[in-house]
Amino acid sequence: MLAKTVQAFNRFELVFSNLSLALLVVVLGLQVFFRYVLHTGLSWSEEISRFAFVWFVYISASLAAQRGTHIRVTLFIRWFPGGRQIALLLADAIWIAFNACVVMAGILLIQRTLAYPVYSTSLFLPLAWIYSVIPLSHALMILRILQRQWDYWRHGIPVIASEAALDHPGQEGTA
């Protein structure tokens, strides 16, 4: 039971980002069809596509953190005094602190938009629902960063998906 729950949690970002992307593509396709074939517009399509895109980007950032493919500047890691893994641990600690600040700011934003409701123009959706992706995705990123570090220190799984890129700079695309 626990293994299935963990497996479902590990697939959450992938499934949700794929659904957001599929929604984006379908709505944009409908918008193009209605505008150029039927010569009429859909008033709600631009909002839905914008919201789907925002959710896709934020949840996909958490997916990248989970897979160890999130963008990093690794140029100076090999020269770090404590070694590569200590440098990555320090960088991840800074990244977690940044994400924690964004989670707190996102929660404050949602509290404000709940206290003083703001609605989307076409669909009249409370923007607090749309903004909820900010603290959610950054909290997920914190969990995924901790998960990557745990997997490294416990099982030796690299923090960065392409550790070979650190050993052989300039050959990232040849592996």
Q: Is 82 helix (H, G, I), strand (E, B) or coil?
A: coil
Helices (H), 37-168: 45-67, 84-115, 127-131, 133-155, 164-167
Q: Which domain holds residue 17?
A: 2-168
Task: Supply the pLDDT for residue 79.
Answer: 75
Tell me the C-alpha distance between 142 and 76, whole Å. 23
Q: Is residue 174 part of a domain?
A: no
- How do the pLDDT tens digits run along the chain, 175 residues long? 777 887 888 888 999 999 999 999 999 999 999 999 999 989 899 999 999 999 999 999 999 998 888 877 777 777 777 777 888 888 889 999 999 999 999 999 999 999 999 999 999 999 999 999 999 999 999 999 998 888 887 877 777 777 644 444 554 444 3
Residue 173 in any domain: the answer is no
Domain-embedded: residue 151: yes
Under a CB-based contact definition with an 8 Å cutoff, are residues 41 and 35 in contact? yes
- CA angle at residue 22 from 20 to 25, to 5 degrees? 110
Radius of gyration of the chain (CA): 20
The count of domains in the chain is 1
